[in-house]
Amino acid sequence: MNSKINIKDLVVIAMLSALAYLLMFAIRVAFVPAAPFLKYDPKDVVIIIGGFLYGPLTAVLMSVIVSFLEMVTVSESGPIGMIMNIVSSCSFAFTAAAVYRKKRTIHGAVVGLVIGLVVMIATMLLWNYLLTPLYMKIGENNVPREFIAKMLVPVFLPFNLLKGGLNLGITLLVYKPIVTALRKTGMLPAAEEKGKANISVIVAALFAIIMYVLLILVFKGVI
């Protein structure tokens, strides 16, 4: 966030945070049989959009708010799970928003999202190795870190790749429509954003979404 944020901006950020929480609450999909506690939800899409609109620190603020609400309502992993959610969302959304802030175009958005995806995957591999043993149990006992290390490539890597890739595609698809809707309601000024969505980006986003959904269905054993 920056010093120019006013009450209207705070209202939009609150609305986006509420939307991110509602999406997380309504859409929680476990698709990795070896780790059913890993669940996909689309909250990062809205957090990234908040970061694109108001800067990377807004993405951090939204990540903390939504992750805290998730912990006290639906999460079963407590404070450690909240920390993992904050780190995951921030590493993706903060990075994407920081890149986009330097180049506020479609190309800047795509580059930011791709870099954010890579940073998130690398970050979560490290944090899964460090923190997952603290709450993942086999019977009554926490799993040893050596067991988690063996899960990094076959389990955590594809999960974060599919989760992040799907959110990347959805963000590219819905960002402009959401911004346009906010402009029409007067919540955003007309000159807030630069650049227009082009058909190649829309087609690429749709292709990515379809591909990642099919891969998730493969992971779930549906196809």
Q: Could you give the CA distance from residue 140 to residue 129 in angstroms, rounded to a whole number?
A: 20
Average confidence (pLDDT) over 52-72 = 96
Q: Does the pLDDT at position 2 exceed 60?
A: no
In whole angstroms, what is the distance from residue 197 CA to residue 51 CA?
A: 18
Give pLDDT, residue 136.
75
AA identity, residue 155: V
Q: How far apart are CA 109 and CA 97, in angstroms?
A: 8
Given a contact cutoff of 8 angstroms between Cβ atoms, the answer to whether 128 and 87 are in contact is no
For the chain, percent of residues with pLDDT exceeding 90: 61
Domains contained in the chain, CATH given: 7-220 (1.10.1760.20)
Question: Quick one: pLDDT band at residue 196, thresholds 50, 70, 90?
Answer: low
The pTM of the whole model exceeds 0.85 = yes
Q: Does residue 13 sit in helix, strand or coil?
A: helix
Number of Cβ within 10 Å of residue 177's Cβ equals 10
User: Phi, psi at residue 27, to the nearest 5°?
Assistant: -125, 100
What residues have CB less than 8 Å from 179, skipping those under 6 apart?
Answer: 49, 53, 188, 192, 193
Per-residue CA distances from 43 to 136, 144, 163, 192 (Å): 23, 30, 11, 23
Compute the distance between CA of residue 41 and CA of residue 46 in angstroms, rounded to an integer. 11
Rounded to 5°, the CA angle 69-128-153 comes to 130
CA-closest candidate to residue 172, choices 58, 41, 48, 87: 48
Tell me how far apart the alpha carbons of residues 162 and 160 are, in angstroms, rounded to a whole number.
Answer: 5
* Residues 156-192 pLDDT 10s: 999 999 999 999 999 999 998 999 898 888 888 765 4
**Nearest in space to 26 (alpha carbons), one of 73, 59, 86:** 73
* pLDDT, position 11: 93
